[in-house]
Amino acid sequence: MTPLIAVAGRTGAPSKVSRDEVAFAGKRYLNSILRAGGEPVVIAPQVLDAESAREVLQRFDALLLMGGPDVDPQLYGQTASAQVYGVSPAQDRFESALLQAAIDLRLPILAICRGMQLANVVLGGTLVQHLASLPNAASLVAHAPGEFPVGAEFVVHDIVLSPGSWLATATGAQRVHGASFHHQGIDQLAPGFSAVGHAPDGLLEAIEHEEHRIVGVQWHPEDTSADDAAQQGIYDAFVATARTKQTSF
């Protein structure tokens, strides 16, 4: 049977497309899941407690957390800097509830960009609020385009993956090219996570949990997955894991 992949949706403002707010997920995420043989289902943002989140996810085979605006720094004990943007406590609570329910249900979880950062925070880690504030900022490769939305939509850089990691197996490579668009990153890694991918500047780009079925990538594989087999391979392996009900991830 086609595995059902829950995609934690986001709320968009009214526009010419819809007079009402919309619940949405990016088509590139959805198309990457479809190419992998899964059926993506967007879960509308809503108020969920632990029990209702489990009820929602019991019918699904996996959970995808998308990229997006910043996680509320209060969740990791910090005050927001001037560079933090788009914080939505309601969205954080919604996605956190789904994440916890997916962990409880032993579902595979693919966490992209903000999704990886949220998973790290929920499980006890912290974030760098703005990469440009780091002491070595001048030596970092570009992790976001400088003129968006006028210029390029994302930047592409190398990521080196740990041999034997789930991601190295999924991509079939130890060096991949990832499309990046982020100004934050992981600072303190949450207990249970292993660092399995880094950019050439040393910035942490991929994590895998030693107990829970969570894989997080800081880049956006869906941005280039239509033309890059290694990036599509992440979605292929994710959906394959959901399909076979594997006990490891």
Q: How far apart are the first and last CA of the chain?
A: 20
- Residue 149: what pLDDT? 47
Please tell me which residue in 95, 205, 208, 222 is annotated as part of the active site.
Answer: 222
130 catalytic residue (yes or no): no
The structure tokens 């609570």 sit at 93
Domains defined for the chain, CATH in brackets: 4-244 (3.40.50.880)
The answer to whether the beta carbons of residues 186 and 205 sit under 8 Å apart is no
Q: Which amino acid does the sequence have at 70?
A: D
Please tell me which residue in 113, 143, 208, 209 is annotated as part of the active site.
Answer: 113
- Residue 241: what pLDDT? 95
- Residue 84: what pLDDT? 95
**Cα gap 151→121, rounded to integer Å:** 31
- Residue 139: what pLDDT? 79
Please tell me which residue in 143, 182, 212, 220 is annotated as part of the active site.
Answer: 220
* pTM beyond cutoff 0.85: yes
Per residue in 232-249, pLDDT (tens digit) is 999 999 999 999 865 556
The region, left, alpha or beta by phi > 0 then psi within -120 to 50, assigned to residue 218 is alpha
198 catalytic residue (yes or no): no
Tokens, residue 5: 């992949």
**Cα gap 17→69, rounded to integer Å:** 22
Tokens, residue 82: 């001037």
**Cα gap 236→97, rounded to integer Å:** 26
- Residue 151: what pLDDT? 57
Q: What is the pLDDT along the chain (249 residues), one digit of tens a residue?
A: 899 999 999 999 998 889 999 999 999 999 999 999 999 999 999 999 999 999 999 999 999 999 999 999 999 999 999 999 999 999 999 999 999 999 999 999 999 999 999 999 999 999 999 998 888 888 788 898 875 444 578 999 999 999 999 999 999 999 999 999 999 999 999 999 999 999 999 999 999 999 999 999 999 999 999 999 999 999 999 999 999 865 556
205 catalytic residue (yes or no): no
